[in-house]
Structure 1
């Protein structure tokens, strides 16, 4: 193939130009994200059983739905919570790769199949099934300087913001959190009793007198033949104002008098809920101000930077149009971190190209010769972008790292061609064209072997399952594409460039810097050749050193702490204040207010968004830190802020305050720690589960790898409950049906949405509830009356009694079994792998009947960890099979494979010396090191094989191969090694990952090049001798 293009240079140029043009077209369309889309589909089922206890919710709603969640294809697990405020939330997690739409339809069908068995109030409330697998990327805050303006904030969010934001390109879904206006009707039990009215009577009259009636037309067909007009008839519309509702007639007496709603109730435009009253704290407003938030969820494949730029334009356009006193700001953005991290990676890419160019110039000592491999870089990189676009990948951290590593590898092919052409021109006095022709005959098979073997190393990564598999897939396919394209360029354009650009050397490289370098390298080459002969003669001793290398690699693999991924510097902190039992939302807000006033004054903090009420009565807050460029000192880092929050939180008596950063990878977890469910697998009950949890926490104090344990779902809290007892004998004697008692309690205590009203042409709910004075305690409840079947009003005092007891405020299930969701931070100096091991050790000390089910990143780490050893083995097997096919030999590939442990040992030693954990980036580096080591070995083995087939002298052939190939091996290895030096010394956003992958690759390169290369000739000789000599090569 090389000769074909050598004689058709225009054809070769056309192919390269087309590759670049396709890459440029793809570059403008590729999505830009921090990481690939990793989170699996999650379908959420939510509803509300108003006024029911957690136990009643679990038994009447949650368990019935869970029992129907069987036989669903691709389902991984599900968890649920049933709370004392009547809320049901079931999250069903699916495997990566399951289509979200199919998962949604499967769950929707299951819910519809069980809906008829659920309580009437639940069905009327509605059962919401939604896709929530993707986390929101952007959080907007709408604030107001006016207190009691939550309804106005909610109105603007729901009438303007949600619609406008939904139309921004790239936005998939928008969700607003803020109270909405509602017509609130507060019933007075004493006034109702005086007029002999029950709450159900009031509800019935509102339903009757506040309704929209379809009234038809005058003249509607069929009509008389001479009918000339068609006129719409309207009877009445929905009511609009408190005054109109106040005039609803609820009773007529025999004398013509009327009792109106305003006579028995207080009516106002209030809120549909008094929970989601969020606040934003800043340094300038330490007391906070009312806030509503808008969560923006991106489409798959969306360019987050572009989407948020358009959102910023929208915010700037809307700002002057906002109602007086309102302000719209970003509480969370992903684009600054993406820009910073990928910007650092891009600058690393540029630095790598420059360093590779310098190495090539040092060895080739000619601008013309150096230019040839340099031309290959943009062609291959742009071509790779076109392929990853067609495959639906994005420009993200992992694909960018693949391109950085590819630079060092892809120039190898061109370097090998150029170096060999120059050698032939110098040694045999050939013209550039003749030297290129002969060179391609000599090295074409080596180029193909290198390209295929490196590709083979990365191929198994593309088939890894789960979220980790998505990462490996994007990295491996990107690198494989670059490698194969580099072979194409080396076989097509590079020979053309060599024949046209290279000239016979006329300079004297025996003097000056290059003379010094060449003399030194020649001396090194002779020593390498001599050392090779020595090692072959003493192969027994050096074989023991090889076994020692394998043993050390195994030792480091078992002792270096493992983790899924190290966290980078974060721009967001979450705080949670777990309140004591029976805490009101007002008390939780007081805790948040204290935190907000303190944290908003922290020099590293930009905004403190109080989200208390968004997740029950926990004091929840979202903290936005200042730009990382403004937080250079250690005391302004996220970890330091977390410690300050924890210290201050310890002084708050009625709450346990926790602070943590978000996980680096969005894998369904809620914190950057280790998350799991402690499951009552044998059905021992809530009390025993709480005992096991306490024992677990007590034992955890002895494990420094576990820090700040907490029950993340609140499932360990018991609330006081007032249990009402009905006297059935008295009810029968008083002619009171139980259904009337149930409806009365439901309306006055839990509230009831009756129907709707018109608020500035927006449909809003009408909600009936008891006046607050009569639902604060049992005495208030005794003020209410029930109408019996004779029309008489009977006080609750006559037939009820009650007592205080306690029960769980939240029931949590995992796969239908009672559980507690627990989260722990990883102790300083420990890895998540060590934390996982500590949890497993503690579980073994608990009584029988309890189990741990991993969630979030811990689940991915456990599942991927067990597959990594198979990944390494498969990578080695793939290389072996490719080489066996190329060499038509089952034995020669062993001489290449046996060199791999040296690179692996170098990678382990490098991260051990630097104190880096074994994470995903290190695993990527190990595979890359295997590829680099195999590449170096192939260059020697290929030439040794050719020489041996020609002259039959095994030792002389090996020595000649070392002599001829040592220079390109060291040149390409140094080019690759210096290409990753910017990763090793990186700083700023994303530097943690860069250190991991760069340090391991550099360490692996140094050991495999300067030590592993010495062993390859010995391995080749041993393999040839052991398996039958020369006949094995033919």
Structure 2
């Protein structure tokens, strides 16, 4: 360290150039670094979605799910596979080992799926990588006709979406309410029956009237010309006029298509729609690639929307803009960091009362922070709320080392009549060991957090690395820049001597009193600590991450089993009308899936609403009175836990599925009775009504049919099938042929429908099987190829840990079958894992701190004294949380980690000076008194500067998941730990070093001389007043 200090003081130009490079590098990194709300963490879950239109859950699981499970189980790194087979689609989610790169896992999963032969009607698999936010949409707009009948779909599909898809960094562009139009032919069952016409006959007539057949070439006027024979359908009238010949009728009877069918050009799924503020339209959502610059993408998207040229009569509303959320969060944290820096500057000035010395002391803030930005950019980190929280936390700490150095330089300058640079060098070297030890111990406190396993560890690692990098640079600044600046600006100042200030005098007498009553002081402190833990801690409760204030909310509607699309539309309209009538609501976006009896209504509340939670509870109460749907739930949009709500999730499995079902129903019943839990349900949502057709093998053989032929023909009848194409609105459009199912009102009528056998003969359904009403499961769920049930609920209380614990106790008390097992997932499970890992990190950090101090002090007792004082900081930490009514969560635990570092830092500065005095011959008591009086000012300065830096975060309403609780813990803990450092540490030191309470040097003249010299140092402050 000596050579580093000497180099810096003798190479001013080089050092100033390095400072300029650091500042320039920091500014450049700030310009280049990506901005996002949360760290870009790979969530170890990969979902594959395979649509299978018209298939039942049983078919989906048997024909797609089971083959997919078999292949995916062999993929390297897959820990668990959760498979949900619903009507029309398969959802299979893989839990991947954290050590496996998610991009590699995706490629391996794709290769495994490629080995499977999917049914012809199944769509191409889609792979979805999960991010830290539940909704991956970064930007969404709604387009609707504000007046007239402007064509929304043509503008969106033909112009806007293609422009958006050209933007770099976009993964996909989703659209809702833009199913696209098609030409739909809906056969009338009665007319078909009356004329004995089958679907295959209609299909043949349509294709025969819409084809072009090449017949060869002929020579004409010296040219070789191709000859084509055929007819093209160019309009709906052409299609309606297609003639079908009836062979069984006299003179080959004829019938036009319009006589046996309804022909229209409309949306494919009229039961699905999107509305914006009550008007039908289209929703466009943009999903970014992992690690992409969201702010830049959204800016480009806005430019493309503007460049597309909105036609007259159309209007666009922004439904979601994650870039605004990101900028608000990031800028709020930046503002808090800047305010914290200003508070640290003010505190430093109030103590030093000298502009030059204040500038020297605080120069470590910009240099350390800008150097951190450069390193973070080089490491690939982004500017997010975690890295900025690290900056905000570091701001109060990076000035500590410089304060200790500058304060010691003061004392040495004023104690000497000579003014030379050796004074500055010696003064810096005198505290270099202490500040190096304290900085490395603080680094040791935060370093374990950077290596905490699991998702939580990866999420909080940027915060830990930011603090570590800032602290290391602050140490470098303290032993290089501060000595040089002190040499240039402080040696010329005139010393002004005066007596100890009132705080120093009060502290001397108080410490002397305490040292005379060491056991009593220690006992009182222990009683206060035990009382704080016993009385305050149980009242706080626990949570995983604090609630984020949401401005957008989602209303989810679930209809009764078998509800018609019309009923779903009507139910959504009722909720929509209620929201549009509220003055607190400024935007409503509705998406309805009538086919599955579900609707989602997203709304945004005005910024003027002060009590958002109260307003949402009012809405919940109003919706609970409605009878239009089976269930209506309201949740926040955005945030890691859905805008402040946490999920309680149980996986229930075992060897017998009937027992699993019974157990899951009991669990759901118990959870519904717990206050603070809402929306309790299971993946076993009951049975859905359906119609089953049991085919008779003998009759199938008699009529020349096979089950596959019957299934294919029925699917075409019910869902419709594209039989040809036509050009409509300058676009190639499918012509879909199917039965008008609204006219089939009974099982008997369905049984009368005909399909064509291999000989072209029509056969009625009732002649080959039995039709009956039945029920089937809505979703079939597998865990690692075995059936299971998932139970989940929303925890609405802020003390999520307490509610989860109550739920655990209720479930544990149930008399479940021995062959049924369950375990937790979701936010409550993540909280337990996070707390365990963070507790381990704290334990490891304490061991590392002790190791560093043992190396620094060369003994074990003094470091143990310092460690023994750490628990007493809990008094203020718990009291602070209780005052602001904050539960104990991950941010609070990070605050405790930070407290450990600060307590140790201040104690090291004090104990190091005590040991210096002891080496000079003072007894422990005198050494403690003199060291305490000398070190009280830098200890108070660093503590108050840290508190001042964290006050903006503590009172901020935009702290997000980092939360004010971290700042409150540190502020409250510092209030008590500073007193403990100044009183408990001396008491403990004297108790652990009883033999040192008597002077070890016989030459009392030397002792007196040393004491007198130190006393002369503490009574003089350059151009300042006593504190």
Give yes or no for TM over 0.5.
yes
Hey, what's the Cα distance between the residues in 1 that align with 2:918 and 2:217?
A: 102
User: Deviation string for 1:936-973 (max 9, x for gaps)?
Assistant: 01101222222223326333333332222121111111
1:439 to partner: Cα distance: 0.4
Q: What is aligned with 2:413?
A: 425
* RMSD over equivalenced CA pairs, Å: 3.6
- Alignment correspondent of 1:657: 632
Taking structure 1 as reference, are residues 662 and 1016 closer, same or farther at Cα in structure 2, changes over 3 Å only?
same
How many Å apart are 1:462 and its aligned residue? 0.5
The 1:615/1:886 distance shift into structure 2, 3 A limit, reads: farther
Tell which deviates more after alignment, 1007-1016 or 271-280: 271-280
Deviation at 1:49, TM superposition (A): 3.3
CA deviation map 1:76-128 (0-9, x unaligned): 544333234x2222233435564332122122122222x23x54433xx4433
Give the SS at the match of 2:432.
helix
How far off its partner does 1:572 sit?
A: 1.1
Q: Is the 8 A contact 1:35 1:398 kept in 2?
A: yes
Do 1:674 and 1:836's aligned partners in 2 also have CA atoms closer than 8 Å?
no
Output the CA distance in 2 between the equivalents of 1:216 and 1:1017: 108
Aligned-residue offset at 1:919: 1.3
- Distance, in Å, in 2 between the alignment partners of 1:534 and 1:214 is 113
Aligned residues: 987
* TM-fit CA distance, 1:365: 1.8
Q: 1:692 maps to which residue? A: 663
Aligned residue among 286, 298, 317 for 1:308:
298
Where does residue 89 of structure 1 map in the other structure?
91
Matches within 5 A, 1:633-782: 633-634=610-611, 637-662=612-637, 664-665=639-640, 672-685=645-658, 689-704=660-675, 706-711=676-681, 715-754=684-723, 756-759=725-728, 762-782=731-751
Rounded to whole Å, the distance in 1 between the matches of 2:514 and 2:953 is 33
* Cα distance in structure 2, aligned partners of 1:1018 and 1:236: 105
Which secondary structure does the structure 1 equivalent of 2:36 belong to?
coil
State the partner residue of 2:570. Answer: 590
Does the aligned pair in 2 maintain the 1:683–1:817 contact within 8 Å?
A: no
Range with bigger deviation, 256-265 or 645-654: 256-265
How far does residue 679 in structure 1 lie from its aligned partner after superposition? 2.0
The question of whether the paired residues in 2 share the 8 Å contact of 1:211 and 1:236 is answered with yes
The structure-2 alpha-carbon separation of the partners of 1:338 and 1:787, relative to structure 1 and needing over 3 Å to count, comes to: closer
**Contact (CA 8 Å) 2:218, 2:224: kept in 1 or not?**
yes
Name the SS for the 2:183 alignment partner.
strand
Q: Does 1:372 align with 2:375?
A: no
Inter-partner Cα distance in structure 1 for 2:845 and 2:633: 43
Contact preservation (8 Å) 1:251, 1:258: yes
Matched, 1:159 2:155: no
Q: Which moved further from structure 2: 6-15 or 538-547?
A: 538-547
Number of the residue aligned with 1:143 = 144
What SS does the aligned partner of 1:174 have?
strand
CA shift, 1:478, in A, is: 0.3
State which drifts further: 364-373 or 814-823: 814-823
Q: Are the equivalent residues in 2 in contact too, given 1:843–1:851 (CA < 8 A)? A: no
Under a length normalisation based on structure 2, what TM-score does the superposition of the two structures give? 0.88
- The answer to whether residue 342 in structure 2 is matched with residue 339 in structure 1 is no
1:425/1:127 CA distance change after superposition, 3 Å: closer
8 Å CA contact 2:550–2:638 kept in 1: the answer is no
| Counterpart residue number, 2:1019 | none
2:809 counterpart of 1:841: yes
Distance 1:148 1:109, change over 3 A: farther
CA contact (8 A) 1:2 1:492 kept: yes
In the TM superposition, residue 338 of structure 1 has moved relative to its aligned partner by 3.0
Which residue does the alignment assign to 1:881?
Answer: 851
For 1:354, the equivalent position in structure 2 comes to 342
Q: Helix, strand or coil for the counterpart of 1:46?
A: strand
Per-residue deviation, 1:975: 1.0
Conservation of the 8 A alpha-carbon contact between 2:508 and 2:929: no
Please name the residue that 2:1014 is paired with.
none
Partner of 2:1010: none
Alignment of 1:519 with 2:501, yes or no, is yes
**CA separation of 1:670/1:436 partners in 2, compared to 1, >3 Å: closer, same or farther?**
closer
Structure 1 SS opposite 2:920: helix
Please state if 1:447 is matched with 2:415. no
- Offset, 1:481: 0.7
Q: Shift of the alpha carbon at 1:614? A: 8.4
Distance in 2 separating the partners of 1:37 and 1:946: 48
Q: Is the contact made by 2:592 and 2:600 (CA closer than 8 Å) also made in structure 1?
A: yes
> 1:79 maps to what in 2?
82
Distance 1:654 1:529, change over 3 A: closer
Distance 1:130 1:350, change over 3 A: closer
Please give the secondary structure, in 2, of the residue aligned with 1:139: strand
The answer (yes or no) to whether the contact 2:722–2:737 under 8 Å persists in 1 is: yes
Q: Secondary structure at the match of 1:623?
A: strand
The answer to whether the 8 Å contact 1:95/1:466 transfers is: no
Deviation string, structure 1 residues 673-709 (Cα, Å, up to 9, x no partner): 3241442323323xx55543442233235432x4223
Higher mean alpha-carbon deviation, 974-983 vs 991-1000, is at 991-1000
Shift of the 954–211 alpha-carbon distance from structure 1 to 2, 3 Å rule, reads farther
3-state SS of the aligned residue for 2:263? Answer: strand
Question: Contact 2:696 / 2:769 at 8 angstroms: preserved in 1?
Answer: yes
Whether 2:10 is the aligned partner of 1:20: answer: no
Give the 3 Å change call, closer, same or farther, for CA 573–725 of structure 1 in structure 2.
same
CA distance in 2, matches of 1:835, 1:572: 25
Give SS of 1:104's match. Answer: helix
- The structure-2 alpha-carbon separation of the partners of 1:272 and 1:108, relative to structure 1 and needing over 3 Å to count, comes to farther
1:174 maps to what in 2?
173
Distance 1:155 1:494 in 2: 67
- By how many angstroms is 1:27 displaced? 0.3
Asked if the contact 1:33/1:396 (under 8 Å) is kept, the reply is: yes
Match of 2:269 in 1: 273
CA distance in 2 between counterparts of 1:400 and 1:87 reads: 42
**How is 1:111-130 mapped onto 2 (pairs within 5 angstroms)?**
111-113=113-115, 115-116=116-117, 118-122=118-122, 125-130=123-128
What is the rounded CA distance, in whole Å, between the counterparts of 1:129 and 1:347 in structure 2?
A: 39
Q: Which ranges in structure 2 are unaligned for 5 or more consecutive residues?
A: 1001-1027
Give distance in 2, aligned partners of 1:214 and 1:496: 92
SS of 1:944's partner is helix
Structure 1 residue ranges without an equivalent (≥5): 220-227, 282-287
Instruction: Report deviation, 1:6.
Output: 0.9
Alignment partner of 1:664: what SS? coil
Q: Is the 8 A contact 2:571 2:628 kept in 1?
A: no
After superposition, give the CA deviation of every residue in 1:957-1010 in whole Å (9 maximum; x if it has no partner): 333322221211111111111221222333x33378542122111011111101
Select 1:581's aligned residue among 540, 561, 564: 561
Determine the structure 2 residue equivalent to 1:223: none
- CA displacement, residues 896-953 of structure 1 (integer Å, 9 cap, x when unaligned): 2222212233212221233211112111111111110010011012222222233263
Over 3 Å counting, the alpha-carbon distance change for 1:521 and 1:934 in structure 2 is: same
- Equivalent in the alignment of 1:1000: 969
Cα distance between partner residues in 2 of 1:110 and 1:1027 = 73
Q: Tell me which residue corresponds to 1:285.
A: none
Q: How far apart are residue 532 of structure 1 and its match? A: 5.5
Residues 272, 767 of structure 1: 8 Å contact kept: no
Residue equivalent to 1:530: 512
Q: C-alpha offsets along residues 553-581 of structure 1, whole Å, 9 cap, x if unaligned?
A: 58866663221111121011111122111
**Aligned match of 2:954:** 984
> Match for residue 781 of structure 2?
812
* Distance 1:603-1:73 versus aligned 2 partners, 3 A rule: farther
Query: Quick one: structure 1 residues 961 and 430, their matched pair in 2 at CA, closer, same or farther if it must change by over 3 Å?
Result: farther
Task: Quote how far apart the aligned CAs of 1:590 are.
Answer: 0.9
Deviation, 1:129, is: 3.5
1:5 aligned to 2:11? Answer: no
* Distance in 1 (alpha carbons) for counterparts of 2:153 and 2:472: 56
2:1004 alignment counterpart:
none
Alignment of 1:1009 with 2:978, yes or no, is yes
Q: SS of 1:68's equivalent?
A: helix
Report SS of the residue matched to 1:137: strand
3-state secondary structure, aligned to 1:121: coil
Q: Aligned partners of 1:934, 1:597: CA distance in 2, in Å? A: 60
* TM-score in terms of structure 1 length: 0.88
> Mean Cα displacement is larger for which, 648-657 or 125-134?
125-134
